[in-house]
Structure 1
């Protein structure tokens, strides 16, 4: 009889540790074609004019998420950082990015469609577009942006 006690205990423990429905929802299955991306106004933490579409996960919660951001022509994001790694893929247009604490167009590199930018947590950077540009952000939530100059934070003017 004791031979069955350990396997039974292991099975019961495995069932207790298995993710429940809430955890399973975090790992959703998503398939989206370009024309099916639904856009809405960007988050209040970005300057007005951006649009966003969350393709996977939830940027407000812990866990992996994928979000597309659409920026209009002549759009700027002042110098800022993020608390976690970020991988940015340029889907269309061109994304000019500079590293450092002060916006300096002379120090920016333009990344064209298909290009990738990967940044470690705390990397100081700034962004500009000359034409409409779509990027895909892959990272972990909860997502946040910290402007180096608090006066640049669009949430302060609301």
Structure 2
């Protein structure tokens, strides 16, 4: 029995491979952390996209009904746009000077990616001369259907939470 404990304690065959095992373990853990970071980032962006689409859906459904009824309707909505998200109604990207021909369009931007949509309602700002930008944060939105001098119905978006 004494002979076994002496040879077991003095056996150093595996000691040479120990640093290599540590390097492989560190590399494997690092790769897993990088993959997990990418997955978490993707999940956060998916959540922001879902919330943004929900906000747009709420605004759009009200605006389409108001537009169908004609001028004179007013609706107030509370929305909270996620940070890093911007929603623009009444224009398409890189074509801001084409309002009111693009008034039925909207888009949102999340981390540099733009998603464009189209509505049956025409959108405008409160002065009825351009598009409306909804920035990140909580907002009290007022939607009002009005008729312009040409007889076209616009949904005016106004942020009551901003001075």
- The structure in which a higher percent of residues are strand is 1
Report the structure number with the largest CA radius of gyration.
Answer: 2
Greater RCO, 1 or 2 (C-alpha within 8 Å, sep 6+):
1
* TM-score (ref. length: structure 1): 0.31
